[in-house]
Amino acid sequence: MIRKTIKLITVACFSALMVGQSGAFALSLSHDKVIPAELIQYVVPRFSLKTRIRFDRVDSVGDIQFVTERPESGTQVLELISGEMVYIRAMGEAAQSPEYRAFVDWLVSDPGRATIADFRIDGRQIAIPAEAQEAAPVEIVIVGDRDHGRELSWSHCRRCHKVDRADKYAGIGNAPSFHAMRSFDDWYLRFSTFYTVSPHKALISVKGSGIEKNRELITIAPIDLQMSDINDILAFVHSLTPLDLGKPIQFNP
Ligand code: HEC
């Protein structure tokens, strides 16, 4: 009982931390004036809810932009009933970020297109999603060192996750096992970005990721990683046998 209470308190502290920090390091997002702000406000949170990837909405030029003039590189995502085509594009390094790619993939996917089509102003649909596109198969390039990834996972992630099937440890309550997550279609994205989402955000620093941490906020032993460590963990997770998806999802098998 007492242990349970302590756990609850810990979780509460984590959540409080996260609420305070959420969005602080997100990519920024802006849109041309002719694109109704209500449309963006409708679409973006639905993506964030699903993926926990958030963008900071800005009025100036964002890292990610919805524009109506065809950009040199970008993706057409919808057409307004006023006739303008709307494209999405990203500036500089943001274009390579998993967050941006996930957003574009979602916008042209069935759920993303349905969200765009659902939006109404005064009962009228104002945006027509882009033609369905063949989803390009995600190309996964494994460059990391699997054995080092395994070591890192055992020493850092096993505090909370079951990281290997042979491992008898069950993990903490709400932390899914690595096998369960390996069976998700988007495992690669999740394992590329885990350090940007709760509860890791407060705990794990990745040198070179551009994300600064306030060490004073961290109450348990922090974890310091390099970008190359993330690739090594990806290589390790890639080598795991995914949990059988035919069965209902078990988070802690
Ligand atoms: C302090 C405990 C803790 C540690 C340490 C930890 N995790 Fe997690 N992790 C969690 C919890 C809890 C969740 C589930 C969060 C949720 O569903 O809201 C999670 C979720 C994840 C996810 C899924 C994220 C998503 O997008 O849904 C991945 C991937 C992940 N962890 C990888 C790792 C890796 C790799 C490490 C080690 C470098 C690690 N975690 C260390 C607690 C932890």
| Per-residue pLDDT, 9 | 45
- Residue 200 C-alpha to ligand 1 middle, in angstroms? 6
Q: Using 50, 70 and 90 to split pLDDT, how confident is the model at 245?
A: low
Rounded to the nearest 10 degrees, how much is the dihedral formed by the CA atoms of 179, 182, 183, 185? Answer: 170
Question: Is the CB of residue 206 less than 8 Å from the CB of residue 195?
Answer: yes
Task: Measure the CA–CA gap between 6 and 187, rounded to whole angstroms.
Answer: 31
Residue whose Cα lies nearest atom 10 of ligand 1: it is 175
Q: What is the pLDDT of residues 4-47, one digit of tens each?
A: 444 444 444 444 444 434 434 689 999 999 999 999 999 999 99
| Per-residue pLDDT, 219 | 62
Q: Tokens 């609850």 sit at which residue?
A: 8
Average pLDDT over residues 107-122: 92
Q: How many CB atoms lie within 10 A of CB 248?
A: 5
Q: Using 50, 70 and 90 to split pLDDT, how confident is the model at 58?
A: very high
Residue whose Cα lies nearest atom 2 of ligand 1: it is 160
Residue whose Cα lies nearest atom 9 of ligand 1: it is 175
Question: Is the CB of residue 226 less than 8 Å from the CB of residue 205?
Answer: no
- Residue 205 C-alpha to ligand 1 middle, in angstroms? 13
Q: Which atom, in ligand 1's list, is nearest to the CA of 14? A: 1
Q: Who's near 248: CB < 8 A, 6+ residues apart?
A: none
**Nearest of 204, 212, 205, 202 to residue 17 by alpha carbon:** 202
Average pLDDT over residues 115-121: 93
Average pLDDT over residues 196-215: 80
| Per-residue pLDDT, 73 | 87
Task: Measure the CA–CA gap between 186 and 131, rounded to whole angstroms.
Answer: 23
- Residue 113 C-alpha to ligand 1 middle, in angstroms? 30
Q: Is the pLDDT of residue 72 over 50?
A: yes
